[in-house]
Structure 1
Amino acid sequence: MFRKVKIEDAVGLKLAHDITEVNLDKNFKGVAYKRGYKIKNEDIEHFKSLGKYFVYVMDEETLESVVHEDDAAKMLAPLIAGENIDYDKPSEGKVNFYAKINGLLKVDKEKIIAINRLQIPSLPTKHSNIPVKEGEVVAAFRIIPLYCDNSIIEKVKEILVIPSLDVIPFKFKKAGVIVTGNEVYYGKITDKFLPKISSKLKKFDVEVIKSDILPDEKDVIVNKIKEYIKDVDILFITGGTSVDPDDNTKLAIREAGIDIIQEGNPIQPGNNFTIGYYNDIPVCAVPAAALFYKATALDIFLPRLIAGDKISVDEIAEYSIGGLCHFCKVCVFPVCPFGKA
């Protein structure tokens, strides 16, 4: 694609890449000769002083048929970046992509994989469906060689008819928490669910505007659910989610008119975390596992729920891969493989 020649034989030819100069006497470090510069006879000694006795050059015909790494990044970055994604100028052929807001990262896996299968482009990303903060790097792009054929760029453009990266804003702000259980209602034990869930929601700027502690009475729970869904964006109901005879939470959720998409999920811990919807309002049954573990199914699904990202039965099944916690002695969630479907 380009050829190596002695600097004396390069006069009249164009450089295939930038030449960097470091001059401590002049306190200078930068580009001495830019890519495409036509080498002159009087440049030979300067090139040698930079240690360049050989350079890489290209003829005009070759230059027209290939794309430099910086140009590739400039052309493709706008096609990669979607909603609420920003990117910087190429540096040594690489461009970084940033979240413009706090939100949920969405990655089109099929597009990303298709681009990387071309072997010449490199487009690594962070996992889809994870929360990201404003200014956080979420992906990077470059072509691996210094140059690539124009045909590679055209193939990437065909894949990127729709951008492959987006950040969805967290849309829900008002939450309700209904704590159920005779042992809590009658004061036998102190409720720990409300502070736990409130703390998790606070990280997403979601406020618990309504909360109640109820006995294990199905009709009472049903009526309270119907009351809450008039005022909140998202509702959490704790306790009574397993298979004991007096566990009425999921029964009450159904009788309140909530469409449960699936009872439970394959993630451990938190198998009994159950998601339902009343129109677009998520209604979730939270099991006791959320009290005992730092990260459970609740934490895996929570960013998506708060972003209003509807979750399907098929997606729940996909969480089985990576859905088993490593139960590390020191938990570093969310910077770990747990829940990265």
Structure 2
Amino acid sequence: MEFKEISLCQAENTILAHSLNLTKSKLKKGTLLSKEDIIELEESGYQEIMVAIPAEDDISENIAAENLASAIAGELVDVEKPTTGRCNLRAKKDGLLVIDRTPLDQINFVHESLTVATIEPFVQVYQGQLISTIKVIPYAVANATLQTCLAIAKEKPNIIRVAPFKSKTVGFIQTRVNGLKPSILDKTTKVLLQRLKRLNSHITQEIRCQHDSGEVTKAIKELQGRDVDILIISGATAVADRNDVVPSAITECGGEIIHFGMPVDPGNLLLLGRCHEKYVLGMPGCARSPKFNGFDIILDRLFADVPVTAKDIMKMGVGGLLKEITERPQPRALLSKKDKVKKSMKVSAIVLAAGQSRRMGDVNKLLMTFNEQPMIRHITNTLKESCLDEVIVVTGFEAEQIKNSLDDYDVKFVNNPDYEQGLSTSLIAGLQTIDKKTDAVIICLGDMPMVTSEGIKQLIEEFDPDANKEICVPTYQGKRGNPILWSRRFINEMLQLEGDVGAKHLLFKYDDIVHEVSMQDSGVLLDFDTRQAISDFQE
């Protein structure tokens, strides 16, 4: 491909290198220039322009991106339609993302014009989640470059795939010593059950015995007779050596120790073994807590039928420091989502209910009947059911009527006298009112009655600033919706907004810390701007 400045008389059927403003419109970069485009450029005063001229064997950016994406996409991966030289891959189902790094690196080494980027491997992904993007850097790629990449992908199929979690039965052994409270064992069981529920699995039988190798050996043999898929053992004291109580019991039953210890913190003292073709997991002490740790990393792989070797564990050191901690936190009991919100963070919600609904004519759509009650009550009720610390409703147009329709809800009202100046004024009014100790704020639109409390709780549950999940955006089938949960650190930037705009531009500015949360229903995409839309939906 040749990249140069040429006169307009030579530009037909070349590719425009940079977007140009015309008298009546705009030509976007990457446009294959037609005769009509040349005329518009001339009329707009251009004489020379920068263009890209493909060679005879060059492949256009979209075709090249789609071909490579299709070649590296493996099981349970969807290939999206390419645009501007970019082709995205999304998870077709929930599961564990598995990436064969060696051929992927080989593809990226071929030439700078073709690139493949992915999220971290071996993480849980959700249906519709973006997992990879293939980007062609110039406007076309040499056919030889593309063919080299395709040959690598053909030799190593399934480079990027999603391994679905398989439902498995678990035998669970807990040991006890004198002075260990039964409540600690009960809590450990509760935490493990919650982990297994996420993996669509359950505990078939639990055995509690003394912390003695003979007793543990007996428990292992009993559970093997129950034909469980995986054995998990939680020792009353941490495993300190391969000859300690739990590993000794595994070998006594004819099993083997695959690996003891892992370069992941928390989770260093994990034990992985195998007994009669079944994996045995020795839980590190940190796994008594629901906080993510090394135990979860191994558990996810095993339940997705992804084999784990000693070498796999030893390679986990880079990125294995899951938290930068100066002291060990006390293990948290598995709390309800309500308790998690109340004890671990403070979350506020702002409902924007000040607009005039101009497309509705002289009717305030938030006061229109939707499923037998005013529309504004639906999102308010959803938020109150979501156990938030505070709900703020920003009013403006017909403020008293909005307040009267919500008079039985314990919410905070703030009036925006400047609502006619645009959405930003209502957002700012709400943000200026929230609790100063709030950790995160959910920005809600009043005309989205189908948002559920389960969806709100899911946003809160997945909010984790330490894991670069500071902006949580709900999605349905790959499409982003509302409401969005924001870390409080973005409040100052939002307070600088002007006019009829929200904070959408911040999603692009801080793309690296935006976390998409896949929802089970389309409520996060549904708002209602016309009477007909409301009528059609209720029919």
Same-fold status (TM-score > 0.5): yes
Aligned partner of 1:234 in structure 2 is 230
Deviation of the 1:266 alpha carbon: 2.8
1:52-91 paired onto structure 2 within 5 Å: 53-55=47-49, 62-91=54-83
Unaligned runs of 5+ in 2: 327-343, 345-463, 470-539
- What's the secondary structure of 1:123's corresponding residue? strand
For 2:308, the aligned partner's letter is I
For 2:149, the aligned partner's letter is V
C-alpha contact (below 8 Å) 1:185/1:213 kept by paired residues: no
- Could you tell me which of 202, 212, 216 is aligned with 2:197? 202
For 1:78, the aligned partner's letter is S
Q: 2:147 matched to 1:154?
A: yes
Distance 1:326 1:167 in 2: 26
1:309-320 paired onto structure 2 within 5 Å: 309-320=306-317
Aligned partner of 1:110 in structure 2 is 102
Deviation of the 1:286 alpha carbon: 0.8
Deviation of the 1:107 alpha carbon: 1.0
Aligned partner of 2:386 in structure 1 is none
Per-residue CA deviations over 1:138-184 (Å, capped at 9, x if unaligned) read: 11001111222222112212221223211111124322221111347
1:1-341 paired onto structure 2 within 5 Å: 1-10=2-11, 13-17=12-16, 35=32, 39=35, 44-48=38-42, 53-55=47-49, 62-117=54-109, 118-161=111-154, 162-163=156-157, 164-183=159-178, 187=182, 191-229=186-224, 230-239=226-235, 240-243=237-240, 248-291=245-288, 294-327=291-324
Structure 1 range deviating more: 176-185 or 247-256: 176-185
Aligned partner of 1:339 in structure 2 is none
C-alpha contact (below 8 Å) 1:19/1:34 kept by paired residues: no
Aligned partner of 2:495 in structure 1 is none
C-alpha contact (below 8 Å) 1:175/1:232 kept by paired residues: yes
For 1:179, the aligned partner's letter is Q
C-alpha contact (below 8 Å) 2:79/2:89 kept by paired residues: yes
Give the TM-score normalised by the residue count of structure 2: 0.54
Deviation of the 1:105 alpha carbon: 1.0
Distance 1:186 1:47 in 2: 80
Deviation of the 1:123 alpha carbon: 0.8
Distance 2:234 2:132 in 1: 37
- What's the secondary structure of 1:323's corresponding residue? coil
Percent of residue pairs identical: 28
- What's the secondary structure of 2:118's corresponding residue? coil
Structure 1 range deviating more: 145-154 or 319-328: 319-328
C-alpha contact (below 8 Å) 1:20/1:29 kept by paired residues: yes
Distance 1:16 1:243 in 2: 66
C-alpha contact (below 8 Å) 1:16/1:57 kept by paired residues: yes
Distance 1:133 1:122 in 2: 24
Unaligned runs of 5+ in 1: 337-341
Distance 1:184 1:203 in 2: 32
Q: 1:249 to 1:18 in 2, by over 3 A?
A: same
Give the TM-score normalised by the residue count of structure 1: 0.82
Q: 1:64 to 1:237 in 2, by over 3 A?
A: same
For 2:232, the aligned partner's letter is F
Distance 2:192 2:58 in 1: 55
Per-residue CA deviations over 1:91-131 (Å, capped at 9, x if unaligned) read: 11101101111111111111222222222212111122222
Structure 1 range deviating more: 285-294 or 117-126: 285-294
Q: 1:48 to 1:76 in 2, by over 3 A?
A: same
- What's the secondary structure of 2:257's corresponding residue? strand
Distance 1:276 1:77 in 2: 38
Structure 1 range deviating more: 80-89 or 256-265: 256-265
Deviation of the 1:90 alpha carbon: 0.8
For 1:273, the aligned partner's letter is L
For 2:253, the aligned partner's letter is A
Looking at secondary structure, tell me which structure has more helix per residue: 2
Distance 1:233 1:333 in 2: 34
Deviation of the 1:273 alpha carbon: 0.9
Distance 1:186 1:303 in 2: 29
Distance 2:67 2:124 in 1: 28
Deviation of the 1:251 alpha carbon: 1.5
Deviation of the 1:218 alpha carbon: 2.7
- What's the secondary structure of 1:14's corresponding residue? coil
Deviation of the 1:51 alpha carbon: 7.2
Distance 1:57 1:189 in 2: 69
For 1:235, the aligned partner's letter is L
For 1:233, the aligned partner's letter is D
- What's the secondary structure of 2:199's corresponding residue? coil
C-alpha contact (below 8 Å) 2:65/2:135 kept by paired residues: yes
Q: 1:216 to 1:280 in 2, by over 3 A?
A: same
Q: 1:225 to 1:116 in 2, by over 3 A?
A: same
Deviation of the 1:269 alpha carbon: 2.3
